[in-house]
Structure 1
Amino acid sequence: MPVLLLQVNSPDTLRWQSAREQADSENRRRLRDLRPLCPLLPKLYAVSAFCTKLRFYAATKTEGVVPPVSPCDPRTAFADTNPPNRWNSDVLEEEGANLPKQSVAEIIARIYLSDVKSKEEGANLPKQSVAEIIARIYLSDGALVRF
């Protein structure tokens, strides 16, 4: 079963560098911890939220956690490796509202695909087509999620 981790942070803490670092570190650690427990899943997902501001993560076997960790220059001890603009999807804006829908639609479709693959009687179904239909139903605007 595909996994989606949702981390909800206190809205007023987005301004604090330490809160952003902690949120980023926790999501990465949780995805790394879950990756070996879910060997059959191609991708695990995580969302970090500060009020309406979202940051998306994914973990695969080959790529690790995406987006990659921002490098820190050791000469600048106070470098902000997770500035507030990394939480750049706002669910109150059209583009930001569609990103969570697309992620959830992909998860729903993957659940269906993995369920069909595990059942003999479903072997003759057009799996990709059915998954796309499910994704379209979930997305209110009819946008298509590609896998």
Structure 2
Amino acid sequence: WPEQIAYPFNILPPHTNEGDYFGPYNKLLNFLFPPDGPFTVGFLSTKGSQHPIVFIFQILLKNKPVLILELRHPSYLDIPSEREKADEQIRSRMTDTAAACPLDTLYAISVLGTKLCFYSLDTQDSRAEIVPAPILGVSDPAPANRWNLDVMEAAGEAQLRDIVKQIEDRFARAV
């Protein structure tokens, strides 16, 4: 990443909270989806009785979601039940949002600090499953290795840029 994008991530304190990641991810998403383009970076914050604060970014096209990014504390990576909640919540949000997506694929990213897990859903097929498929009947249905890419490492950057390119290409074909 360019220095102006990497710097806010690199200066985060060691014992940070979810809110400390908001600025760096906001800057990153606005870099990937510039304000003068067709996409808008939107933001939601939720706090449920059973879940701590979750920061949710949505990349919108004509006020309709094409990418969801849910941001949670990095410590969740070490807690199987918290990973499971993160996985369930993003799948639920994708299911609830898919019909509104103006493109043929809705993308989502579950973020635990700087660790990324990518999801996609074919919005044209009502029987389509969210990728990656859920793991059923096991004690750890959302294994830590699903968050195997780091936004600050080359492979994580490449995957994120690839998702952005796919969104831009799908938009270009739809116009």
Query: Of 100, 116, 131, which residue of structure 2 is paired with 1:54?
Result: 116
Q: Distance in 2 between matches of 1:95 and 1:20?
A: 21
3-state DSSP class of the match of 2:107? strand
Give the structure 2 partner of residue 112 of structure 1.
172
Residue range with higher mean Cα deviation, 43-52 or 29-38: 29-38
Q: Any stretches of 5+ residues in structure 2 without a counterpart?
A: 1-60
Give the deviation of 1:23 after TM superposition.
0.7
Give the deviation of 1:37 after TM superposition.
2.8
TM-score, normalised with respect to structure 1 = 0.68
1:18-37 paired onto structure 2 within 5 Å: 18-37=81-100
Give the deviation of 1:16 after TM superposition.
1.1
3-state DSSP class of the match of 2:130? strand
Over aligned residues, Cα RMSD in angstroms?
1.6
Mapped contact 2:111–2:117 kept (Cα < 8 A):
yes
How many correspondences in the alignment?
109
Q: Which has the higher strand share?
A: 2
Give the structure 2 partner of residue 137 of structure 1.
none
Residue range with higher mean Cα deviation, 86-95 or 16-25: 86-95
Q: Distance in 2 between matches of 1:26 and 1:111?
A: 26
Q: Distance in 2 between matches of 1:28 and 1:93?
A: 25
Higher relative contact order (CA 8 A, sep 6+): 1
Question: Rg: which structure is higher?
Answer: 1
Give the structure 1 partner of residue 106 of structure 2.
44
**Residue 70, structure 1, aligned to residue 135, structure 2:** yes
TM-score, normalised with respect to structure 2 = 0.58
3-state DSSP class of the match of 1:109? helix
Q: Any stretches of 5+ residues in structure 1 without a counterpart?
A: 74-78, 116-147
Q: Percent identity?
A: 37
Could you tell me which amino acid in structure 2 is paired with residue 6 of structure 1?
A: L
Q: Deviations over 1:58-104 (max 9, x none)?
A: 0112532111110214xxxxx11112111011122211210000001
Query: Of 75, 79, 89, which residue of structure 2 is paired with 1:16?
Result: 79
Q: Distance in 2 between matches of 1:54 and 1:36?
A: 24
Q: Distance in 2 between matches of 1:49 and 1:34?
A: 18
